[in-house]
Structure 1
Amino acid sequence: MPGTWVRSLSLQLWVASMVALAISLTLIVSLVLGAFYYFPDKMWQEDENSQLAHRIAEGIRYDVNGTPVSLDLEPRIDWLLKVAPEEVMYRIFDQQGHLLLFSTDGAAMSDRHPWGRQGLALLADSQQKISINGEEYSLLTRKIEHNGHFFYQQLATNTLFNRAMMDTKLRPIPHVIGWTLFIASIVFAILFPLIFLFLLRPLRIASRAAASITPANLQTRLAIDDVPSEIKPLMAAFNDALSRLEKGFKVQQEFLASVAHELQTPLTLLRGQIELQTDIREPGLMFREIDLMARQVRQLLHLAEVSEQQNYTFGDVDRDEVAADVIDYLQPKARGRQVTLLLQTAVDLPLIRADKGALFILLKNLIENAIHVTPADHAVKVIIEAAAIRVVDNGPGIPAENLPLLFTRFWRGTETVSEGAGLGLAICKEIATAHRWLITVETSGQGTHFVLWL
């Protein structure tokens, strides 16, 4: 559903991360390119001049007295000095300021700038702007040492030339960065969901564990060992809530069972006392009310028993045999209401894994309800299939608005003719849930079909 995707935490984090990535990379690239374009001296020219001067100094060749006599430059540097002699010039001085080596225009630069030979010690290891023939140059002065002798090296580079070279080198950078950003975004967009799925694995495990928690399985707790520290308090609080819920549920079930047990004995004694009293008016009505109360007590006991998973004993069960036993048990009640019980079963059905007593109670409640709503001289059908057990009555059907309430504890429809506390179908639901079965209802004006899917 579109709404589900919009509310998805994964999608929201993916979109937020993509936006943050795009904004961050754009800002970084803009700042770097802006620094190169608007502050070329600091970002580019001074560093380039230092590297060029260092490579020229490495090419100096000395005589036996340690005096610079020639240069042996790498081809790229030698080519640059030859094709741009007025834009890139160098000079080598001794400590007294005598010119020892120079580029093609180095001597001319020396003549035009006699101050360059003076104060070399003060200019050492610095860069400054100078003007040659009205053009701006960047002048780098370095102090170099060889075998205990010190010399001074100067490198002058034309500022316009440097910027032209910089523009040539920087021109393809935006395209390269653009493609890099595009490829990085694609890779990030693909990898992020995988990484996010891996990071959320503890939450998915916890979600599955939480989904398995039912009233019949309140002992399960969420593992908090391998989850992120930010989520541990939430999961610990959830586990604490489960502990309180389990305790409350046990107290409720124990109270229910205790009350039912305590009521059984007084009811039995009350019936016996009525039977001994011959002068009581309408004893039949009193017996009917006592029997009704006894039935409700039995249902409370059953509900308390089937609500606890430990009360079940699973084994291989013949469903045909259990259904036949239920029909035999209810046959007197059916004859009393002039209702016929019919059992239809397939041939050679396999055994099922179930608690035999619980299955008996489930089928008894369904068939007993069907007997109550079926008119006289009609039949209740119990159909055994490979994947389901169907109980079909010929009653008036169930209103559509009542279907969601059928399995609610103590709920009884206003049109019901059965005598009970509204616990029979709730008991069936508890038993089906414990067995991981499903109960569905199909109703019409000509009867109701309860289907137990195994």
Structure 2
Amino acid sequence: MPAPKPEASAAPPTRTDDRSARPSAGPRIVVMLHRWVHSLSARLWITSVVALAVCLSLLAALVLYAVNNFPQQVIGQHGQLEAVRHLADGLVFDAAGRPVSVQLTDPPAWMFESLPTEVKYRVTDTHGTVLLASPDAGGPPWLNVPRSGHPPTVDEATIDGRPFYVATLQIVHAGTVFRVQTAMSTRLNAISVQVKIKPFPRIVNVTFLAATIIFGLSLTITLRRILRPLRNVSDAAALITPRNLTTRLSTRDIPHEIRPLIDAFNAALDRLENGFTVQQQFLASAAHELQTPLTLIRGQIELQSDIQGKEPLLQEVDLMARQVRQLLHLAEVSEAQNFSFGAIDPAEVAQDVLTYLSRKAEALHVGLQLEGAAATLSIWADRSALFILLKNVVENAINVSPAGSTVRMIIDGRSIQIRDEGPGIDDAHLPFLFKRFWRAPGARHDGAGLGLAICREIAIAHGWRIAVNRLGTGTGIVVKFSDDV
């Protein structure tokens, strides 16, 4: 039974600071804004806020239309109905169950006392007999046939030759039915309505703005919380590389609508892992199988005295053998389990590389120079892998250097830099330097285009950064260590 696949964590990938490659603040802001506008959270946020704004606008328009076109029904009558209910609640009855007084609080009490000609109240029995009234509220019935029942009603009436609105509420106390009425002149009612209507547009606008801001902020927090599992999955997917194809995305806390997509992605990773494994196995097997026949072919050529032009044949065999070794190195460095890490001195490895390549450099009349070896610190790395990395870079530098020039290795506590004095690298070729099997057009030396690809694999496995710098004369390749012991 196969072991379960580890789930990818959501930790963000480590990025190396490269100030020279950083875009300016302006383009970064534009890129971030572009990404935000095209994100799912932004679309949900914009759609929800726009929907809220439309709904609030329609509601505000409806309220303002009702207030402006039907002020009496919306505000005036409502105020009178509240006043008659307040009056009924304040009635005081005697032992016989008849109303004897009314207890009111401001502002109704103040209005009845200060504006007796504009605001009145009275309490009558079912026959219209006045039992209790405010000043100047006596006289004949205000309404010829007052409507009875519950809830209260508002009717137009003429009192002392002036138009009034009369609110009537029927109550029952100790088995006796009473009618409570309040009257307000149409003139005072109109003034009151206008005073209440005046701040309405401002209130509506402030409410609209406050509701939109509060909703937008709360929606931002809600969306961040809801979409957090998707961001975690996205971050985890960004960490998956050919080196950790065994990792799978977790479906924990993922909405069920998104789970089929995650499952399909994990299934694609299964197929990709299987294909990558088969490719690596084939690469390693082919390299191993080709080594022995090439050795035998070289031996046969050397032993056959009657073969004409041995040197070109031997050179071709040596080139094939070198390419096979590079393929084997590429297969080995692409698997993390092939590395054996420990504390090493990079200066010692660099010196071994220069010693190993000294004969080739002498043959091409190129000098080798090591600088800063005394100032280095130990690093945590695979010694053989670092040797292969430095050997490939220095060997390329020797190949492109003219006779009489010098290849320099500069070491400090954080990096190793290899500088040559060759013709340099075309800007158009920089993106392809570390790709497998790529060789610069017109390259003078033989090779399969795997040397720098192997260096890149080794750097990735160690968490280092390898970069190319164009110099005034020649090229510099720097390896920056990210983990110091």
TM-score range, shorter chain: 0.7 to 0.9
Q: Does 1:289 pair with 2:285?
A: no
Q: State the shift of 1:81 in Å.
A: 1.9
Match of 1:412 among 401, 425, 439: 439
Q: Does 1:347 pair with 2:358?
A: no
Name 1:58's counterpart in structure 2.
89
Aligned 1:132-147 pairs, distance under 5 A: 132=158, 135-147=162-174
Q: State the shift of 1:165 in Å.
A: 1.1
Q: Does 1:130 pair with 2:156?
A: yes
Whether the 8 Å contact between 1:379 and 1:393 is mirrored in structure 2 is: yes
Name 2:108's counterpart in structure 1.
77
Whether the 8 Å contact between 1:367 and 1:380 is mirrored in structure 2 is: yes
Aligned 1:217-256 pairs, distance under 5 A: 217-226=244-253, 234-256=261-283
Q: Does 1:30 pair with 2:61?
A: yes
Name 1:391's counterpart in structure 2.
418
CA 137–271 in structure 1, closer or farther in 2 if over 3 Å, else same? same
**SS of the counterpart of 1:416?**
coil
CA 153–293 in structure 1, closer or farther in 2 if over 3 Å, else same? same
Q: State the shift of 1:362 in Å.
A: 0.5
Bigger Rg over Cα: 1
Name 1:47's counterpart in structure 2.
78
**Residue type of the alignment partner of 1:140:** A
Q: Does 1:429 pair with 2:456?
A: yes
Q: Does 1:149 pair with 2:176?
A: yes
Q: State the shift of 1:37 in Å.
A: 3.1
Match of 1:333 among 348, 351, 360: 360
Q: How far apart in 2 are the matches of 1:387 and 1:128?
A: 90
Report which structure shows greater RCO (CA 8 Å, sep ≥6). 2
CA 363–75 in structure 1, closer or farther in 2 if over 3 Å, else same? closer
Name 1:7's counterpart in structure 2.
34
Deviates more, 1:243-252 or 1:318-327: 243-252
**SS of the counterpart of 2:445?**
coil
Q: State the shift of 1:106 in Å.
A: 3.3
Q: Does 1:371 pair with 2:398?
A: yes
- Give ranges in structure 1 of 5+ residues lacking alignment: none
**SS of the counterpart of 1:286?**
helix
Q: State the shift of 1:352 in Å.
A: 1.0
Deviates more, 1:35-44 or 1:141-150: 35-44
Name 1:165's counterpart in structure 2.
192
Aligned 1:79-98 pairs, distance under 5 A: 79-98=110-129
Deviates more, 1:142-151 or 1:125-134: 125-134
Deviates more, 1:50-59 or 1:378-387: 378-387
Whether the 8 Å contact between 1:439 and 1:450 is mirrored in structure 2 is: yes
Match of 2:130 among 99, 115, 135: 99
Whether the 8 Å contact between 2:347 and 2:373 is mirrored in structure 1 is: no
Whether the 8 Å contact between 2:72 and 2:193 is mirrored in structure 1 is: no
Whether the 8 Å contact between 2:326 and 2:451 is mirrored in structure 1 is: yes
Whether the 8 Å contact between 2:243 and 2:335 is mirrored in structure 1 is: yes
CA 345–57 in structure 1, closer or farther in 2 if over 3 Å, else same? closer
1:395-448 Cα offsets, whole Å, 9 max, x none, are 333333323322221111232122211111111111122222222334468433
**SS of the counterpart of 2:87?**
helix
Whether the 8 Å contact between 1:95 and 1:151 is mirrored in structure 2 is: yes
Aligned length: 449
**SS of the counterpart of 2:138?**
helix
Whether the 8 Å contact between 1:90 and 1:106 is mirrored in structure 2 is: yes
Aligned 1:238-317 pairs, distance under 5 A: 238-317=265-344
Q: State the shift of 1:365 in Å.
A: 0.7
- Give ranges in structure 2 of 5+ residues lacking alignment: 1-26
Q: How far apart in 1 are the matches of 2:406 and 2:369?
A: 7
Whether the 8 Å contact between 1:125 and 1:140 is mirrored in structure 2 is: no
Name 2:242's counterpart in structure 1.
215
Whether the 8 Å contact between 2:157 and 2:166 is mirrored in structure 1 is: no
Q: State the shift of 1:263 in Å.
A: 1.7
Q: How far apart in 2 are the matches of 1:378 and 1:79?
A: 107
Q: How far apart in 2 are the matches of 1:221 and 1:125?
A: 68
Q: How far apart in 2 are the matches of 1:416 and 1:223?
A: 47
CA 452–125 in structure 1, closer or farther in 2 if over 3 Å, else same? closer
Q: How far apart in 1 are the matches of 2:440 and 2:457?
A: 20
**SS of the counterpart of 1:398?**
coil
**SS of the counterpart of 1:417?**
coil
Q: How far apart in 1 are the matches of 2:106 and 2:360?
A: 113
Aligned 1:100-119 pairs, distance under 5 A: 100-110=131-141, 113-116=143-146
Q: TM-score, normalised by structure 2?
A: 0.80
1:43-99 Cα offsets, whole Å, 9 max, x none, are 223332222112222332323221223334335333322333343333323344433
Percent of pairs with identical residues? 45
**Residue type of the alignment partner of 2:153:** Q
CA 40–396 in structure 1, closer or farther in 2 if over 3 Å, else same? closer
Q: TM-score, normalised by structure 1?
A: 0.85
**Residue type of the alignment partner of 2:156:** I
Q: State the shift of 1:276 in Å.
A: 4.2
Q: How far apart in 2 are the matches of 1:324 and 1:373?
A: 21
CA 427–94 in structure 1, closer or farther in 2 if over 3 Å, else same? same
